[in-house]
């Protein structure tokens, strides 16, 4: 029996060696490098009610719809919904560290809409966003910064100061910039809920379609940063 077991083990080892050799000859990566390349990207969508999916079922919220769109492109992801309704940039800063767990490979940062609606000093919003970007950069986590525009009724001076925050910080910290998260959706009654502020499921579809190329760039950056 011992001789038979030993012979079986030798045959098994030989087969495994042959399979690995064949894979190498065929150019197929093996071992930890292949596992690292194949596992889903771990992304955190970090924002306010626009990320959380206010008024929508969980499967119609932005992170869920985005994961579906990426999957259709052949990009496997696990996107955590870290959106909190009513959150401001200061609120986001206060919860950043525990909301972005170890192992996160990319972040979509979508905050600022509530600051603008409440007339928060643009300097405060800028400072909070900058600190978040600094911390994420220190952790070597690539970021897609989703921009926001101030309501025009806040006046030209406020609008100019607020709107400039996102391109300025994206350039300074090397983040991927998506200039306006609600592009194609804002002020369209057909794509917004009754409050006129939060997108419907159809509105989320528009957001996802427009932001998708930028997220693909984020995914590529995250994959490039992976270590075997």
What's the mean pLDDT in 48-69? 98
Q: What is the pLDDT of residue 38?
A: 77
Q: What is the pLDDT of residue 170?
A: 98
Q: What is the pLDDT of residue 24?
A: 42
Q: What is the pLDDT of residue 228?
A: 67
Q: What's the length of the chain?
A: 228
Q: What is the pLDDT of residue 3?
A: 47
Mean of pLDDT over the chain: 88
Percentage of the chain lying above the pLDDT 90 cut? 82
pTM of the prediction?
A: 0.84
Burial call 190-221: b when 16+ CB within 10 Å, e when fewer: ebbeeeebbbbbebbbbbbebbbebbeebbeb
Catalytic residue numbers, as ranges: 49, 195, 198
Residues 139-149 pLDDT 10s:
999 999 999 99
**Between 156 and 22, residue with greater pLDDT:** 156
Q: What is the pLDDT of residue 17?
A: 41
Q: What is the pLDDT of residue 36?
A: 56
What's the mean pLDDT in 208-225? 97
Question: Apex CA 126: angle with CA 121 and CA 130, to 5°?
Answer: 155
Residues 78-129 pLDDT 10s:
999 999 999 999 999 999 999 999 999 999 999 999 999 999 999 999 999 9
**Do the beta carbons of residue 61 and residue 53 sit within 8 Å?**
yes
């Amino acid at each position: 029996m011992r001789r038979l077991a030993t012979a079986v083990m030798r045959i098994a080892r030989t087969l495994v060696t042959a399979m690995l050799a064949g894979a190498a000859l065929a150019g197929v990566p093996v071992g930890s490098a292949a596992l690292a390349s194949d596992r889903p990207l771990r992304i955190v969508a970090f924002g306010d009610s626009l990320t959380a999916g206010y008024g929508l079922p969980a499967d119609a919220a932005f992170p869920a719809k985005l994961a579906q769109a990426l999957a259709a492109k052949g990009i496997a992801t696990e996107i955590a919904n870290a959106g909190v309704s009513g959150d401001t940039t200061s609120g986001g800063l206060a919860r950043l560290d525990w909301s972005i767990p170890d192992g996160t490979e990319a972040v979509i940062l979508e905050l600022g809409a509530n600051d603008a609606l409440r007339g928060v000093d643009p300097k405060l919003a800028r400072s909070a966003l900058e600190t978040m970007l600094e911390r994420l950069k220190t952790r070597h986590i690539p970021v897609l910064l989703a921009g926001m525009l101030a309501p025009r009724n806040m006046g030209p001076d406020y609008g100019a100061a607020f709107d400039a925050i996102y391109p300025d910080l994206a350039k300074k910290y090397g983040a991927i910039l998506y200039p306006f998260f609600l592009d194609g959706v804002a002020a369209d009654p057909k794509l917004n809920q009754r409050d006129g502020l939060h997108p419907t499921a159809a509105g989320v579809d528009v957001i996802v379609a427009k932001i998708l190329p930028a997220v693909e760039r984020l995914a590529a950056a995250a994959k490039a940063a992976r270590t075997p």
